[in-house]
Amino acid sequence: MRRETEKSLLCNGCGRKLIRENRIYREDFVDLRKKWGYFSRKDTQNHRLILCEDCYDRLTGLLVLPPQIEEETELLSIG
Ligand SMILES: [Zn+2]
């Protein structure tokens, strides 16, 4: 009998279930967590937002300023 150890994640933007095989997500996504503080209208609330890459692109396209982007050089050590 197969048992899920963690609830599967749904994209908040499109409602699609993120693909996961052997407990590893087969696609990358945004996992935004925010603990709202005193100077907000959501004080004491913890919010979490999951966005698939398509929804991330769609939503960031609506922003006045685009996200800050830095290229990361991936270093693979061999041996
Ligand atoms: Zn989505």
20-66, pLDDT tens digit by residue?
888 899 999 999 999 999 999 999 999 999 999 999 999 999 999 99
Q: What is the pLDDT of residue 43?
A: 95
Residue 40 alpha carbon to ligand 1 centre in Å:
27
CB atoms within 5 A of ion ligand 1 belong to 11, 13-14, 52, 55
Q: What is the pLDDT of residue 17?
A: 96
Residue 74 alpha carbon to ligand 1 centre in Å:
26
Do 52 and 15 meet the contact criterion of CB atoms below 8 Å apart? no
To the question of pTM greater than 0.75 for the whole model, the response is yes
- Does the pLDDT value for residue 3 go beyond 70? no
Residue 38 alpha carbon to ligand 1 centre in Å:
30
- Does the pLDDT value for residue 79 go beyond 90? no
Q: What is the pLDDT of residue 34?
A: 97
Q: Which residues pair with 10 in a beta bridge?
A: 17
